[in-house]
Structure 1
Amino acid sequence: MAQVYLSLGSNINRAQYIRAALDALAGQFGDLQVSRVFESEAVGFLGDNFYNLVVGLHTDLPVGQLALCLRGIEDANGRLRSGPMFSARTLDIDILTYDNLTGAIDGVKLPRGEIVKNAFVLQPLAEIAPEVLHPVEQKTYRQLWDEYDQASQKLWPVEFNWP
């Protein structure tokens, strides 16, 4: 079984859609490793704040089938794909890593570049997988978070209960 880390985000009815995504992921994959939920300002556009978190899970699905499954969860939760890339969304689920795979696999670029660029991905990933090595950087997520310019993006934990 592959170890996979996903990022989840929402800035429309945030708590509702994050809970729905966690329910769907748990139903599909079983036990989840779930970070705290963080609130952050929108990046790349003006919009309402996001809720973001990282989820770890195990799966036998190949990368392409996993991506289709995640897209189905997004679509079932009202995700619209007709607007600009950087825009408000009910739910965004991205594959961050799939084991230690690198490169374009089934149309998915691994590891996802956002890991080292966005605090709302790196901090929750460092929280649940502090000793795991980034497959390209060859540093742990804790090391990467410690080296990150933490003042560059506003991010704060929020009270969130699931299930």
Structure 2
Amino acid sequence: MTEVFVSVGSNVDPERNIRRALAELHRRFGRINASTVYQSPAQGFVGDDFLNLAVGFSTEEDVQDIIAQLREVEDLCGRDRDGARFGPRPMDLDLLLFGDLVLESPELRLPRAETLEYAFVLGPLAEIAGDRRHPVTGRSFSEHWESFPAGLKNLEPVEVSG
């Protein structure tokens, strides 16, 4: 079994879309471990705040199957792939880690670079996988979070009902 970690984000009807995505991820992969949901400002464009969290699960499927299923879940939540690269998202599921796989290709980079670049990715990941080590840096995600610039830790925990 491979441990997989995914970033979940939405700023279009975010509570409904996050509930829907989590239910669908659970249906497809079984038990999932979810972080707290956090509200954070949009990055790269002016828009509504996002709700973000990280989830982890174990799978026997290969990395391409996981990516395909994440895209299907995004589509079920109304994702429009013809829109701007940075813009409103009903659902954004980004594969952060697939076990200790290190991969760099035009289609996929693992671990995902954003894992260490944005508070809305690193904070929730450190919450559910703090002891896990980054496959490239060798540092734990808790260590990365502790050294993340305090002024950029702009996360506000929120309750998602239902």
Identify the TM-score tier after normalising by the shorter chain.
over 0.9
- Corresponding residue for 1:98? 98
Please list, as runs of the form range in 1=range in 2, the aligned pairs for 1:1-163 lying within 5 A after superposition: 1-104=1-104, 107-161=107-161
- Which runs of 5 or more residues in structure 2 are unaligned? none
- Count of equivalent residues: 162
| CA distance in structure 1 between the partners assigned to 2:150 and 2:65 by the alignment | 35
Counterpart Cα distance in 2 of 1:100 and 1:113: 14
Amino acid at match of 2:136: V
Shift of 1:107: 3.0
With normalisation by structure 2, the TM-score equals 0.96
Deviation at residue 150 of structure 1 after TM alignment: 2.5
- Alpha-carbon distance, 1:76 to partner: 1.2
CA distance in 2, matches of 1:161, 1:61: 31
The answer to whether the 8 A contact 1:101-1:135 is kept is yes
Deviation at 1:139, TM superposition (A): 0.3
1:61 Cα offset (Å)? 1.2
1:86 is paired with a residue whose SS is coil
Provide the C-alpha distance between the structure 2 equivalents of 1:76 and 1:132, rounded to a whole number of angstroms.
31
Cα-to-partner distance string for 1:123-142 (whole Å, 9 max, x where unaligned): 01110111000011110000
Query: Which runs of no fewer than 5 residues in structure 1 stay unpaired?
Result: none
| Alignment CA distance shift 1:71-1:16 (3 Å) | same
- Maintained 8 Å contact 2:15/2:161: no
Letter in structure 2 aligned against 1:157: P
SS at match of 1:151: helix
* Distance change >3 Å, CA 92–CA 50, structure 1 → 2: same
Q: Provide TM-score, normalisation by structure 1.
A: 0.96
Does structure 1 conserve the Cα–Cα contact (< 8 Å) formed by 2:123 and 2:145? Answer: yes
**Aligned amino acid, residue 156 of structure 2:** W
Residue type at the aligned position of 1:88: P
- Matched residues in 2 for 1:152 and 1:48: separation? 18
1:55-96 superposed Cα distances (whole Å, 9 cap, x missing partner): 000111111111011101111111001111000010000100
**Identity among equivalent pairs (%):** 40
